[in-house]
């Protein structure tokens, strides 16, 4: 079935481009907000999202798990053939763009991973949509989220201003930009998980900064030194210089106080247990994992893990973390890459079959059951296991003792006779 028209821009939209009813250049009739002003500060101290993930290893792990996991699965284009009847449209031009080569300098994995990371860090992911003369999408070119601003026109449509990685400025109409938006307060800019839960993130960053300072000072005991009465006036300075030369003071917290009465060293220290530093960092790590909907074991928090709950959390990662994120990207792809007519015929779905595969024994038990009830043929199973098909392997079988309720058993009273190979559950 030809599919060149489903993804084309409709006639009115193309006229708007040709005759300039919507112009790429900015002008009156809308309002303009810069991206930086719209997104606000991440934390009270103004910590950038890049600063957050560089400070928090678990945030890095969460974003890596989500972006790498979702980018690694096929993004299928399906054709809707009617009620409960769909087929995979691998010959659709968008399939190659989203799964093989989105542009001349990136693989599909690299582009999708970049878009997911942009969404998780900044709440927005952008890519310029390149079309041919027929309106077909032939390439996607990503933008850094911090270089994109959105203008809302008087008619409610969007116009984007962006700068690409080479420094070239772009002004793009709504149909020329792929925009994946996170949860939003205004329907224009999305929010990242880091912005939505900035309180918990701020506590985690503060605990991380305190831990770094604490361990930086660990080799330099802080305290004070006292001297017997009658010590020379220059003794405190000499002792302090000797102490600092021996222990090394590399930050403002190191170094002892020196007094001229008494004669002993008094240490001033709050240990990690008293400061509850370890517990705070552990709970903060769990909070960050919760913000991104990542099960603890998937990001290396294994203090309460067992074999059973690790297996269940691997399934929870797909169902509770990756599946909602996939739905957000699928709907954005449909909105930005397909026309109204195209959305009636096509839709996008991520294939999580590989991530949901169990161990070999579990898979083969499910294959046996699926074959016995006629869901899979032998070649269907072999294709799922990346094995070549076999001759005669496309035949579907059902148990011979199955019959509609109230009907005569097969092979009796006029029913189809047994034989011709139909002598068992597997034929």
Do 70 and 155 lie in one domain? The reply is yes
**pLDDT bracket for residue 277 (50, 70, 90):** low
Q: How many domains does the chain have?
A: 2
Q: What percent of the chain is predicted at pLDDT more than 90? A: 30
In a domain, 97, yes or no: yes
Vertex 112: Cα angle to 90 and 5 (nearest 5): 40
Query: CA 131, CA 138: separation in Å to the nearest integer?
Result: 5
Do 213 and 229 lie in one domain? The reply is no
Do 45 and 124 lie in one domain? The reply is yes
The answer to whether the beta carbons of residues 138 and 176 sit under 8 Å apart is no
In a domain, 416, yes or no: no
Do 240 and 316 lie in one domain? The reply is no
Among 336, 356, 376, which residue terminates a domain?
A: 356
Do 57 and 99 lie in one domain? The reply is yes
Do 256 and 333 lie in one domain? The reply is no
In a domain, 86, yes or no: yes
Interacting residues of 389 by C-beta distance below 8 A, sequence separation 6+? 379, 382, 383
Do 184 and 264 lie in one domain? The reply is no
Query: CA 327, CA 8: separation in Å to the nearest integer?
Result: 23
Do 137 and 236 lie in one domain? The reply is no
Do 232 and 86 lie in one domain? The reply is no
In a domain, 365, yes or no: no
Q: Tell which residue, 114, 108, 106, 121, has the closest CA to residue 67.
A: 114
Do 155 and 251 lie in one domain? The reply is no
Q: What is the pLDDT of residues 98-133, one digit of tens each?
A: 999 999 999 999 999 999 999 999 999 999 999 988
Do 237 and 349 lie in one domain? The reply is no
Q: Which domain holds residue 129?
A: 1-220+272-356
Do 103 and 156 lie in one domain? The reply is yes
Distances (CA, A) of 372 to 116, 307, 378: 40, 31, 10
Phi/psi for 86 (5° steps) reads -135, 160
Q: What is the pLDDT of residues 183-214, one digit of tens each?
A: 998 889 999 888 888 777 777 777 777 777 76
User: What does pTM read for this prediction?
Assistant: 0.70
């Amino acid at each position: 079935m030809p599919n060149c028209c489903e993804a084309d821009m409709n006639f009115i939209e193309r006229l708007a481009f040709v005759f300039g009813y919507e112009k790429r250049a900015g002008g009156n009739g809308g309002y303009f907000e810069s991206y930086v002003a719209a997104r606000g500060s991440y934390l009270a101290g103004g910590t950038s999202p890049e600063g957050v993930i560089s400070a928090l290893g678990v945030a890095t792990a969460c974003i890596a798990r989500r972006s790498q996991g979702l980018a690694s699965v096929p993004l299928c284009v399906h054709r809707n053939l009617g009620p409960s009847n769909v087929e995979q449209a691998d010959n659709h031009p968008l399939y190659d763009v989203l799964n093989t080569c989105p542009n001349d300098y990136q693989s599909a994995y690299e582009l999708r991973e970049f878009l997911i990371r942009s969404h998780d860090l900044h709440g927005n992911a952008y890519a310029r949509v390149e079309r041919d003369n027929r309106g077909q999408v032939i390439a996607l070119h990503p933008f850094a989220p911090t270089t994109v601003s959105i203008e809302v026109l008087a008619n409610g449509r969007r116009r984007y201003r962006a700068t690409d990685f080479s420094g070239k400025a772009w002004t793009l109409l709504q149909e020329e930009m792929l925009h994946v938006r996170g949860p939003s307060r205004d329907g224009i800019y999305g929010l990242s998980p880091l912005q939505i839960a900035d309180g918990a993130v701020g506590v985690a960053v503060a605990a991380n900064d305190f831990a770094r300072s604490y361990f930086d000072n660990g080799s330099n005991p802080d305290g004070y030194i006292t001297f017997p009465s009658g010590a020379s006036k220059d003794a405190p300075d000499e002792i302090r210089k000797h102490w600092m030369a021996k222990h090394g003071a590399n930050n403002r917290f190191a170094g002892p106080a020196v007094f001229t009465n008494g004669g002993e060293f008094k240490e001033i220290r709050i240990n990690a247990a008293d400061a509850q530093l370890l517990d705070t960092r552990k709970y903060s790590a769990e909070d960050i994992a919760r913000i991104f909907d990542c099960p603890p074991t998937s990001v290396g928090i294994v203090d309460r893990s067992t074999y059973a709950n690790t297996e269940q959390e691997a399934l929870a990662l797909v169902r509770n973390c990756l599946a909602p994120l996939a739905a957000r990207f699928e709907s954005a792809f449909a909105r930005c890459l397909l026309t109204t007519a195209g959305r009636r015929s096509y839709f996008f779905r991520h294939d999580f079959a590989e991530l949901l595969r169990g161990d070999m024994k579990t898979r083969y038990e499910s294959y046996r059951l699926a074959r016995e009830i006629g869901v899979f043929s032998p070649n269907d199973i072999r294709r799922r296991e990346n094995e070549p098909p076999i001759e005669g392997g496309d035949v579907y079988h059902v148990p011979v003792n199955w019959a509609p309720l109230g009907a005569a058993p097969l092979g009796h009273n006029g029913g189809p006779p047994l034989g011709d190979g139909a002598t068992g559950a597997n034929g």
